[in-house]
Structure 1
Amino acid sequence: MTGKKVIAICQSGGEFETDEDGFLNYKGGDAHAMEIDDKMKYKNFKTEVAEMFNCNLGTMIVKYFLPSNKKTLITISNEKDLKNMIKFHADSETAEIFVMTEVVVPDASQMPGSRSSRTTLSEAGVPVDAPPNVIEDVIDYSNQSGLLFGDSFDIVGDINHVDDVIDIPPEIAVPLNVVGSYHEKHAKATEIWQNNITGVGQRFNSVHEFREALRTYAIAHQFAFKYKKNDSHRVTVKCKEEGCPWRIHASRLSTTQLICIKKMNPTHTCAGAVLRTGNQATRSWVASIIKEKLKADPNYKPKDIVNDIKQDYGIQLNYFQAWRGKEIAKEQIQGSYKEAYRQLPYFCEKIMETNPGSLTTFTTKEDSSFHRLFIAFHASLYGFELGCRPLLFLDSIFLRSKYQGTLLAATAADGNDSVFPIAFAVVDSESDDNWRWFLIQLKTALSSCRDMNVMADREAAAINALPVSRTITFVADREKGLRESVAEVFKNDEVYHAYCLRYLSEQLIRDLKGQFSLEVKRLMVEDLFATAYATRPDGFQRCIESIKSISVEAYNWIMQSEPDHWANAFFPGARYNHMTSNFGELFYSWVSDADELPITQMVDSIRGKIMELIYTRRIESNQWLTRLTPSMEEKFEKESLKGRSFHVSLSTGNTFEVRGDSIELVDIGQCSCSCKGWQLTGLPCSHAMSVIVCLGRDPYDYCARYFTTSSYRLTYSESVNPIPSAERPGRNEISQVAVTVTPPPTRRPPGRPTTKKTASQESMKRQLQCSKCKGTGHNKSTCKELALEFSTI
């Protein structure tokens, strides 16, 4: 919504009226319009509004309605409120804003019986938009009587006005609630519920309808109750406060489903309990109240729900009541999580029907509960085979959905070094077995793509007739069974497994037994990365010796960690200098944004992101005029410029000597250089550039084809198609599907998920260091050497 302007229609001087449906309508007053956007500061906004109506900034109150909700007024009192209001109206051209005035009573510290020096009319219960003469009369009367607005009264019985206590003229009477001064904002929010229960003889269509009416009635009248009897045909309820005579009994009318109030004592002799607890605010009631706001703001937090319910209804919820209410509201907005699992078979059929060539498959456990789901869209498989390097990154992300789980993913790097999603799976947990299953499905999907002869003759010629099979390099963790699974699943194919350097460094720190300071651990990790990036064995040896000088234990661990799987100096495959498996961060951000949705909606959200990505990059690449993609063109130019100062010794063969900062040998026939820069990146290094130019050849001809603009366009040549919502199944259609899928047995515990430290965070946490002996693992107060020193004195 950044940059979008909203026309704010500002109104003041009128009054609100409540219609029969409980909606608030603003009548009368003046109106002005102004343009606002998300860059406007709250201070400037408030100043401009005050100038419109000649209001005092200190006493001005600004409120608004949420879109499609004209029952609850929302206050704008700070920068965040203003930005939220603009965000909530992102799809609207206009927003109605209501300007009110909070009149401050003059210093009353000298008044008889005074307990405060400042009280506002809103605290006293006087409507802030009341006519000025009424406000003046109330102030004058309070001065005369010594009554201070804001004082609380312990009043027993059914008291509605101050004039029930003292003789105040009716035209300036101020409403009170049973526990003290009346809060107008609470009254506006609940006045529509005050007559939900009228007395004996009132009828309801069902027990549920009676219970809901009773609940809202109790909230409106600020008291709590408890059930004495509560079943399908009768309900007996009493006030929760001991000794209070308020009670009600309703039961079913014979031969009907109607519930009728048979007995009721409407008198309270208590102060209520709803202000102290939220026990009358059920989860479904909270959900109904916050639903519209949650729809406008999906990040509506439980703590904000607690504050808003307290402010608008005077009810104090705890965190878990708000959290559970939000969960119910989310399910009402998004759909049922259980229903989504039931729709899964149908949903998979629709994906393959609308995206031919895709592979979707799922499995269930013996009890029909969900186990795993695999998705690979044809456009992704096709783009990988035609335009991407044979390089796949394997990684996972924990899901925060109601039933938890983990998402496994395979992503690739396109010709512009941007992430290209290939396949993903939702599984019940990250395990050896689930990774093996994912790799089996991935292999099947890639093989099927090749077997479908997706490369037409024209396209095959454009890419120099790609071979049917390619040597794929997987960049992944060596743990979680991946070391064994990659080798086992692809045993008949020539593949390489490059260990993720990030996971490797975390494991190194985790496995070290000695006590090392944070600084030392960082140095070891830096040296490990330098060791991995070293292109030749002598460079590798220098870096490993640096680690050995710090810790022999770390040196031995690294030498036993199979350097031929992660060190550039020894790795036999091509990973184009990509050392870690978390290359697909963009893809994982999409997952994080959608992982709280029901499973089918989460998958469809990811599908929509992939569809948008492919379309956007296809359109962008149509504007490119260079032979290589922009990022590769930039690298190409840098190497070309660097190579101009080198001296080349020509020969009759394919091998040439290049002198610069070092002496390197370039083999044009093998596309290799002794510096290994050419082999590692797929682009001619500066030494190769100088040789190619000396030979009078075009350096572009020696770049890996994956970096050309034509290959990039082939990567994004196919589209991911939408799944029409009109074809989503009804219950009858789902029942015809043979397989039944139920939710997994694991459920997320209530409340905010516990933030677990990653291995690197745990291993890199600060170590205690003694300021006396400089040792680690203890401080000065527990230093044994210091204690020994004192004992010898």
Structure 2
Amino acid sequence: MEQNVVDDPNYNSDALESVHSSDDERGKKHEQFPEFNEKTDMKNPTLTLGLVFRDHVQFKRALIMYSLVNRYGEIHFPRNEKLKVTAKCAKRCPWKCCVGKMYGSKTIQIKTILDEHTCGRTWANKNMKSHLLTDFNCQIRVESRLWKNEGYKALDRALKIIEGKHAEQYTKLWDYAEKVRNTNPGSIMKVKLDRGRFQRIYVCLGACKEGFKSGCRPLIGLDGCYLKSVHEGQLLCAVGIYPNDETWDIAYAVVEMENKSSWIWFLELLVDDVGVVNQEGWTFISDQQNGLIPAFQKVLPNSHHRFCVRHLYTNFRNLFKWKTLKDALWSVVKTTAVPHFKKVMEDMKKLDEKAYNWLMKKLAHHWSKSHFETYPKCDMLLNNLCESFNDVILVPRQKLIVIMLLLIHTLLMKRIQMRRIQW
């Protein structure tokens, strides 16, 4: 049944039957109407006659949330003024709700309500906006692509609320670096700025550094991977190997991109932390990233540099697609003596002279076991050290920079503790 109390334009809303009443000092009774509490009532609004709202904006948000939660479909507003709002169901059912100004104030309250829906319930509702879902932590199902976009916007807003805005994260880097130095003695944190703005950060945790120095082979894998946050960038990493063939993460850095400058900066810091004195006793393996080879020539000209054979084979396969040549390539790669290497290369020359010439242009000490140095006591051909690290940090790479660094930090500490328990 419709309840209408707005026929008289001079109507005094205080004449409505109130839920509560109170007496003043003279004994005169004052009526009090229920007020809409946005913090507690917005998740599941209940509309009653006389309900008081702060303004027309709060009333409209409450009605839209009411329709979303109860799946009543869309609501439109034929009359939309600051002190007078009329709301009706868009499907032409008799439901209606009107608010007007309370007597003696600019507050509005429900003066007419016909709370009867004859339309069927639906999940589709164009009134749904992202700010409603995030501001009031609501879970509402949507079915249309148009409205799913609002869902994605709501997810983005929610992540900003939880993790903070992207730009604010960079102001917290110095606090994070100081915290790491205090809690993990020996840690090295370097932040580089470009004209007062963040450019790079280098992280070498004290426990990782000391663990590598005390028990790992003098072989380090280098690699870079893309970050998937809003500001993008790339993450460079250095990973070592234990004598029992387990990986050991040493250092990582967030840079603007992979180039000669960023690799030189990363390698110089890594060399100081690891304590590389005699470069000839150290071996590095990489995927020949952009700018890495010239960086090696400047920072580590006397060290040994291996190339990941998987990437070498990928380039080889683009030119020579025979399976016979593939098997021949891997035979050359796995040879352990120079005479055997020469013999297998001659066999490849008989199969395809172009493939032979292409491979001879690559220095053998970069990719064949027969020319590797024996000091590291490791004949590794693939850079799986870094590939496994990149795979483990797949989720952190999608986060904002401080969140990402914290997740990687936590991951490495957990890994060290688990190995300590196992050993």
So what's the TM-score if we normalise by structure 2? 0.74
1:539 corresponds to which of 327, 330, 340: 340
* Cα pair distance change 1:278/1:497, threshold 3 Å: farther
Answer whether contact 1:251 1:260 (CA < 8 A) is retained. yes
Instruction: State the distance in 1 between where 2:248 and 2:328 align.
Output: 31
Return 5+ residue gaps in structure 1 as ranges.
1-156, 159-190, 292-304, 451-466, 622-793
| 1:335-374 C-alpha deviation (Å, 9 max, x unpaired) | 5544333211111111122223211122344473x43221
Q: Which residues of 2 match residues 196-215 of structure 1 at below 5 A?
A: 196-198=46-48, 202-205=51-54, 209-215=58-64
Answer whether contact 2:227 2:398 (CA < 8 A) is retained. yes
Which position in structure 2 is the counterpart of 1:434?
262
Instruction: State the distance in 2 between where 1:235 and 1:412 align.
Output: 71
Which position in structure 1 is the counterpart of 2:192?
363
Which position in structure 1 is the counterpart of 2:15?
none
1:260 to 2:74 alignment: no
Instruction: State the distance in 1 between where 2:166 and 2:55 align.
Output: 28
2:72 corresponds to which of 201, 219, 222: 222
* Cα pair distance change 1:343/1:407, threshold 3 Å: same
Which position in structure 2 is the counterpart of 1:476?
286
Instruction: State the distance in 1 between where 2:392 and 2:83 align.
Output: 50
Which position in structure 2 is the counterpart of 1:594?
396
- Measured after TM superposition, the shift of residue 261 of structure 1 is 4.4
Which position in structure 2 is the counterpart of 1:744?
none
1:277 to 2:105 alignment: no
1:407 corresponds to which of 232, 235, 253: 235
Which residue identity is paired with 1:602?
Answer: M
- Measured after TM superposition, the shift of residue 480 of structure 1 is 0.9
Answer whether contact 1:236 1:247 (CA < 8 A) is retained. no
Which residue identity is paired with 2:143?
Answer: Q
Q: Which residues of 2 match residues 27-66 of structure 1 at below 5 A?
A: none
Instruction: State the distance in 1 between where 2:164 and 2:264 align.
Output: 32
Which residue identity is paired with 2:414?
Answer: E
1:489 to 2:296 alignment: no
- Measured after TM superposition, the shift of residue 564 of structure 1 is 2.7
The number of residues matched between the two structures is 381
Instruction: State the distance in 2 between where 1:443 and 1:333 align.
Output: 38
Which position in structure 2 is the counterpart of 1:618?
420
Which position in structure 2 is the counterpart of 1:606?
408
1:416 corresponds to which of 231, 244, 248: 244
| 1:86-119 C-alpha deviation (Å, 9 max, x unpaired) | xxxxxxxxxxxxxxxxxxxxxxxxxxxxxxxxxx
| 1:141-170 C-alpha deviation (Å, 9 max, x unpaired) | xxxxxxxxxxxxxxxx99xxxxxxxxxxxx
Instruction: State the distance in 1 between where 2:84 and 2:250 align.
Output: 58
Instruction: State the distance in 2 between where 1:594 and 1:224 align.
Output: 39
1:505 to 2:353 alignment: no
Instruction: State the distance in 1 between where 2:109 and 2:136 align.
Output: 26
1:580 to 2:382 alignment: yes
Which residue identity is paired with 1:420?
Answer: W
Which residue identity is paired with 2:291?
Answer: G
Instruction: State the distance in 2 between where 1:552 and 1:241 align.
Output: 77
Answer whether contact 1:544 1:555 (CA < 8 A) is retained. yes
Which position in structure 2 is the counterpart of 1:348?
177
Answer whether contact 1:496 1:573 (CA < 8 A) is retained. no
Which residue identity is paired with 2:206?
Answer: H
- Measured after TM superposition, the shift of residue 375 of structure 1 is 0.5
Instruction: State the distance in 2 between where 1:405 and 1:230 align.
Output: 48
Which residue identity is paired with 2:199?
Answer: H
SS at match of 2:223: strand
Decide which structure has the larger Cα Rg and report it.
Answer: 1
1:324 corresponds to which of 137, 144, 153: 153
- Measured after TM superposition, the shift of residue 475 of structure 1 is 0.3
- Measured after TM superposition, the shift of residue 332 of structure 1 is 4.1
Which residue identity is paired with 1:565?
Answer: H
* Cα pair distance change 1:279/1:523, threshold 3 Å: farther
- Measured after TM superposition, the shift of residue 551 of structure 1 is 3.9
SS at match of 2:122: coil
Q: Which residues of 2 match residues 341-740 of structure 1 at below 5 A?
A: 341-366=170-195, 368=197, 370-447=198-275, 471-491=281-301, 494-510=302-318, 512=319, 516=321, 520=322, 522-572=323-373, 574=375, 576-621=378-423
Instruction: State the distance in 2 between where 1:589 and 1:430 align.
Output: 19
SS at match of 1:371: strand
| 1:691-727 C-alpha deviation (Å, 9 max, x unpaired) | xxxxxxxxxxxxxxxxxxxxxxxxxxxxxxxxxxxxx
Instruction: State the distance in 2 between where 1:427 and 1:227 align.
Output: 52
SS at match of 1:374: strand
Answer whether contact 2:71 2:122 (CA < 8 A) is retained. no
* Cα pair distance change 1:281/1:468, threshold 3 Å: same
Instruction: State the distance in 1 between where 2:97 and 2:265 align.
Output: 61
Answer whether contact 1:248 1:261 (CA < 8 A) is retained. no
Answer whether contact 1:224 1:280 (CA < 8 A) is retained. yes
Instruction: State the distance in 2 between where 1:237 and 1:434 align.
Output: 62
Answer whether contact 2:259 2:292 (CA < 8 A) is retained. no
* Cα pair distance change 1:441/1:192, threshold 3 Å: closer
- Measured after TM superposition, the shift of residue 402 of structure 1 is 4.3
Answer whether contact 1:590 1:606 (CA < 8 A) is retained. no
Instruction: State the distance in 2 between where 1:544 and 1:581 align.
Output: 24
- Measured after TM superposition, the shift of residue 534 of structure 1 is 1.0
Answer whether contact 1:360 1:373 (CA < 8 A) is retained. yes
* Cα pair distance change 1:240/1:536, threshold 3 Å: farther
Which residue identity is paired with 1:601?
Answer: I
- Measured after TM superposition, the shift of residue 530 of structure 1 is 2.1
Instruction: State the distance in 2 between where 1:230 and 1:530 align.
Output: 80
Answer whether contact 2:72 2:117 (CA < 8 A) is retained. no
Return 5+ residue gaps in structure 2 as ranges.
3-40
CA RMSD of aligned residues (A): 4.0
* Cα pair distance change 1:477/1:412, threshold 3 Å: same
Answer whether contact 2:190 2:202 (CA < 8 A) is retained. yes
Instruction: State the distance in 2 between where 1:375 and 1:382 align.
Output: 14
Which residue identity is paired with 1:283?
Answer: S
| 1:231-267 C-alpha deviation (Å, 9 max, x unpaired) | 9x679575584877877676898998x7524776758
Which position in structure 2 is the counterpart of 1:665?
none
Which residue identity is paired with 2:192?
Answer: T
So what's the TM-score if we normalise by structure 1? 0.42
SS at match of 1:569: helix
Answer whether contact 2:56 2:85 (CA < 8 A) is retained. no
Q: Identity, % of aligned pairs?
A: 24
- Measured after TM superposition, the shift of residue 276 of structure 1 is 6.3
Instruction: State the distance in 1 between where 2:101 and 2:230 align.
Output: 38
SS at match of 1:408: strand
Q: Which residues of 2 match residues 119-138 of structure 1 at below 5 A?
A: none
Which residue identity is paired with 1:316?
Answer: E
